[in-house]
Amino acid sequence: MDETVEVLKKLGFRDYEARVYATLAMKGEATASEIHRMSGVPRNKVYEVLRSLEDKGMVETVKSSPAVFRAIDPESVLEEYKEQLVSAVDTAIRSIKESEDFSLLHPVWCVRGVAGIKNRAKAMLQKSEEVFVITANRAYLDMILKIKNPEEITVVTDDVKKFSGLNIKTLELKEEFSGIFNDAVIDGVRYSFELLLISGYESFGVYRVGNELLGVSISLPLIILFQKMIFLGLLAK
């Protein structure tokens, strides 16, 4: 019940609407008072909410005394609702694409917060072929593997044992460079290196600054140089 309400709210239902509709959909049919008791929505508000749900085509009524209400086939109504949302998204994507007007594209970008970093990384991984992953943290690799095939990945890390059994190319850093994974504290703020993705001309690094995650994307020929550096300098046999 509570879960249903939460999900409905995610779909744009108001609190009262979600509670009334969930109750009605589960019980099949009910009077206003029953809905009030089961959902906790104030009794007088129930009528108001039911009218609104009726306008949206989700509830039908029998005008008796007391009036009885019923959710119109929840499955088909919600499916229809889903279709509308899907087509809305598709319309949005299409109309954005139509009027796209990319001018100069800045080669350096910062992304704040987890959500943005995930999106950014996903977008980069999807359009890239081969990718280098530099990290000391296995968790990041597991996320990457949801998007890319193992054979497209090369992992560079401090200890290859962490990534064994994955059928992935792994390279180990020389000892003198493995310190890049250690925390640094500057002016009381803790900085740590989390992850670096490199593909083609693009790199995307994730760092922890204090309590926040920061993503930095750099698209420059420089990247190729960095790749070479990795091979020439940082790696142990």
Partner DNA sequence: TCCATTGTTACTACGAGGGTAACAACAAAA
Partner DNA sequence: TTTTGTTGTTACCCTCGTAGTAACAATGGA
Interactions with its own copies, residue window 15-74 (CB under 8 A): 22, 25-29, 54-63, 68, 70, 72-74
Contacts 24+ apart (CB under 8 A), 23-26: 24/59, 24/69, 24/70, 24/71, 25/71, 25/74, 26/1
Q: State the chain's maximal CA–CA distance in angstroms.
A: 85
The CA–CA distances, whole Å, from 57 to 67, 114, 199, 216 equal: 17, 38, 50, 47
Burial of 199 (0-12, 13-18, 19+ CB in 10 A): buried
Q: What is the DSSP letter of 173?
A: B
Interactions with its own copies, residue window 76-105 (CB under 8 A): 76-82, 84-86, 88-93, 95-97, 99-105
Number of residues in contact with its own copies, rule: CB under 8 A? 75
Q: Is 146 in the site for its own copies (CB under 8 A)?
A: no
| Least distance (Å) between residue 234 CB and DNA | 35
What does 25 bind: its own copies, DNA, none (CB cut-off 5 to 8 Å by kind)? Answer: its own copies
What does 224 bind: its own copies, DNA, none (CB cut-off 5 to 8 Å by kind)? Answer: none
Q: Is 150 in the site for its own copies (CB under 8 A)?
A: no
Strands 108-112 and 212-219: antiparallel
Residue 36 CB-half CA count within 13 A: 11
| Least distance (Å) between residue 169 CB and its own copies | 26
Element (H, E) at 171: strand 169-172
How many CB atoms within 10 Å of residue 20? 33
Q: Is 3 in the site for its own copies (CB under 8 A)?
A: yes
| Least distance (Å) between residue 22 CB and its own copies | 7
| Least distance (Å) between residue 227 CB and DNA | 32
| Least distance (Å) between residue 57 CB and DNA | 17
Residue closer to DNA, measured from CB, 12 or 179: 12
What does 66 bind: DNA, its own copies, none (CB cut-off 5 to 8 Å by kind)? Answer: DNA
